[in-house]
Structure 1
Amino acid sequence: MKNIRWTVGRRIAAITAIGLIVTTLVAVVAWTSAFAVEEDADTTKAHTDARSLYQSLDTRSSELKVSALKSLVADDPAALEADVADDTATVAELIAGLKGLDLDADDQQLVGEVEDAFADYTASIAAFVQAAAEDQAGQRARADEIQTANDAMDVVLSGAVEDIGADADSTSQNLMDTASGMRMTVLVVAVLGLLLLTGLATAISRSLVRPLRAAIDALEVFAQGDLTQRLPETASGCTGDLQKAFNRSAENVSGIVGTVSSSAVAVAAASEELSASSQQIAAG
């Protein structure tokens, strides 16, 4: 560092470089944190969508139960087979939507369990309605089977909704924590960068102002006639050149003044000799 010629331009460039580095660091930290926030936001959305799909599946489960119970009292139980088929198709679409979400392995496994449970449930409902269409009176004695199957399906769906809800709450909290951490990190980096920039700017300012102030004071003393005034040649760059130039100028002026003084003494001595010679000649 001592061998670097710290000109004014280089000092300003150093301040600019530090400012750019700080800005870049803040941008990098903000971008990295924003990426993490985006990931958490995507995960939160996936869990929220999953919870909504599970709730829709719960509605389909109830609709299937209602269709089965209607088949016990309807005038045309066979007509309800179309409703069961529609609800079964809707269930398949909802489960496909769940599979399409970006869920972790545990949540995907849970989707598989719900799919298997619905496969058994819809099959049992379809079989019950078909049997009611063939022997409605005989199926009425098996009405409790529908409620039992629906209760089992509710247990599976309730567990799924609870699990995915807990995941959604957790990812939401992670999202808030990540966003808060991002703000804090950006703030810390920005403050540290500003402190570094301020410290560097202050140091560079002092490295310019102090030598200049010393040079001005030396010139004022020099102007008052003190030709012995010199500056310490400790600075580098332009201020160092100024110190050296002042010292050379002072040396030159001192030399000139010394030469003039010597010449004046010699002239005075010669004048005295001429005066003495003139007096001797006049005395004869």
Structure 2
Amino acid sequence: MAAPDSSSAPKEPFQDPNDVEIVPDDAPYSGEDPAFLTETDAASSTQSLSSSVLSYQYENGRRYHGFREGEYIAPNDDREQERMDLHHHIYRIAVGGDLFRAPVDLNKARVLDLGTGTGIWAVDVADEYPGATVIGTDLSPIQPGWVPPNCFFEVDDFESDWGFSRPFNFIHGRTLAGSVRDGPRLCQQAYSNLQPGGWFELADFLGDEFFSDDGTLQNAPSLVEWARLNTEAFHRFGKEIGIAKDYKKHIIDAGFKNVREEVYKVRTFLTVIFA
């Protein structure tokens, strides 16, 4: 069958672009337009951000997340983002520059980063492993717009039921202390969303106490008292700041095998556990 002759095809009347009326879309997030679709992991495809997610909360001069308001204690403004990015570099220095410690090949892997924050870890992994698919989830949509083509971000609460339709090869979570209400459930959901032979890694700090090698901590009673009150506050909040000590047990109880724990001494204790 031949293509129709363009000379015999009916011509559309010319319309001056200046005469075109631009009208607002009454349902910009209806999901009917494929342009709003991103990575289709959930049963219903993810869509562009709704205005409610961007309705941040402000208190004492700081900005906080709007989605699931009150579930995370720290701000999400520029000052906080700078702190999170600094901690990313501290973590890498502590473990010799590595992005993760689990013995997993990410070249063609599906990777999930829980509580991705600014997305700096997810972006670095996506850059270093262009064959991987990296998804970062967080309560705050503060991640950059320009990212590697294999990196995706979703606004989600990792303490809710996970709705991913396909399992992952590697699930990563870092600095989740004070953000986890149910540690055993978190580890169980990770276990249920991993491919056989996949790896789960948590890297965190011990936030409920301080240590010293030379006994000088006894000369800082105010710091010790602050740590005690901080721990009590998080306990009342329902999310323990010292949960890193319990990660290994939670991971084993969830059914993971070959569980390893590595402790790195920095300004505070950094614990990395993978299985």
TM-score class, shorter-chain normalisation, is under 0.3
TM-score, scaled to structure 2: 0.19
Which structure has the bigger radius of gyration?
1
- More helix as a share of residues: 1
TM-score by length of 1: 0.19
Which protein is richer in strand relative to its size?
A: 2
Flag the structure with more relative contact order, 1 or 2, with Cα contacts below 8 A and sequence separation at least 6: 1
